[in-house]
Amino acid sequence: MGMKLIKAKVAGHHVVKNSGWFSLNKKLTILAGPDGSGKTTILKSLLTINPVEVQEQFYTLSDYPDHFFTKGYRRQINPSKKTIAFGVFTCSRKLLYRLGAIDPVLFETDRIEVGRRLDLSRWITFVEIATSTRWSEIAEDFYSFRDFLTSQTGTQELSDRFDLIKALKKTDRIKGEAAEKLNSLLKDAEKFIDAKHRSLFDSIHFGVNRSERFKNARQDVSENLPFFYYFSGSQLLQTEFDLTNQENLNSDILSYLGPKTAANPELSSGNTILLLDEPDINLDGEAITQMQKAIDQLSQLYQIIMTTKSIDFIRAGESVHNVQLLQQDDESGTIVEPAATFDQISALLEK
């Protein structure tokens, strides 16, 4: 089993200013809302997290505003600091073991948060785990190490270089230039280490290089993120799937994703999230039931997030446990909240 998207949030769009965090089923999640409620915006924003085709990001992000108004003033949005799509993923056991081999602390969480910014950059963090060492965590050991070095002959030049730590504050993170300078110092000092101080040196070195290890961990996660693929309702209705055989169904979907993606072995059912935008559009009666059954079968192979404005489609599924409602809020625009009853869903969709 690959990584699964379990929570998401969309923000910064003129329709969906802040959806709030909403939970996702590991198989099928239905986002229900009337026309104009932001269903397509949410799906296409989530698509940017890891699209099969990179150009799809440009089409989606070009629809986001580059400024906003507050207290009568126009404020420019900094694309490099504005995250528009957030996702929290569970980590597969196989990936968790690899990450733990990079740094044992990564065994402490199987939750990974990913975000896409307006400038197309992407960030990855490990839930509740700091990705770099705070200076206060290693300062005492570093001072002990400095005292040891100053007692050795031929280390005057190195001792003078320890002045750089005077500028570090307790809350400073050891990364970037600070990590480079400390690593350079440690590299030159290692030849003076005796057996008694080896463990002290190794502990300091491990702390200084935490940010580099987490950089490698983020790269590993990036290479294992599920691909997102968006289908409009009209695309699905023009496609015939073999619903009687799961192997054929899997093959049909892969083929439909296009020659480029069908030839990509990484685009497996366990590593793909399908975003289905109103697959039941213009359907009624038995056709809705058949589409519901088709999507239910697909959800055994792929994680699916779909939208609908049809209470009949939801009733065909006989449950509301995986339904999220797109409600309107004066400040946040569209917000996403879990559905409680069929009557609640019906009241929203039939407004």
- The CATH topology of domain 4-81+226-349 is Rossmann fold (3.40.50)
One-letter amino acid for residue 199 of the chain: S
Structural contact between residues 136 and 150, judged by C-beta atoms closer than 8 angstroms? no
Structural contact between residues 273 and 227, judged by C-beta atoms closer than 8 angstroms? yes
Locus of tokens 């110092």? 185
Alpha carbon distance 161, 301 (integer Å): 58
pLDDT at 117: 94
Structural contact between residues 83 and 114, judged by C-beta atoms closer than 8 angstroms? no
What global pTM score does this model have? 0.86
Q: Which of 64, 65, 68, 47 is nearest to 56 (CA)?
A: 47
pLDDT at 337: 95
Alpha carbon distance 288, 279 (integer Å): 9
pLDDT at 261: 47
Q: Which of 227, 250, 239, 236 is nearest to 301 (CA)?
A: 250
Structural contact between residues 326 and 33, judged by C-beta atoms closer than 8 angstroms? yes
pLDDT at 75: 84
pLDDT at 298: 81
pLDDT at 259: 47
pLDDT at 116: 96
Burial (CB count <10 Å: 0-12, 13-18, 19+), residue 169: exposed
pLDDT tens for the chain, 351 residues long, are 689 999 999 999 989 999 999 999 999 999 999 999 999 999 999 999 999 877 666 667 778 888 777 777 888 889 899 999 999 999 988 999 999 999 999 999 889 999 999 998 999 999 999 999 999 999 999 989 888 888 876 667 777 777 778 888 999 999 999 999 999 989 988 888 889 999 999 999 999 999 999 999 999 999 999 999 888 877 666 666 555 555 565 566 656 654 444 445 555 556 889 999 998 888 888 878 888 888 888 888 889 999 999 999 999 888 889 999 999 888 878 999 999 999 999 999 887
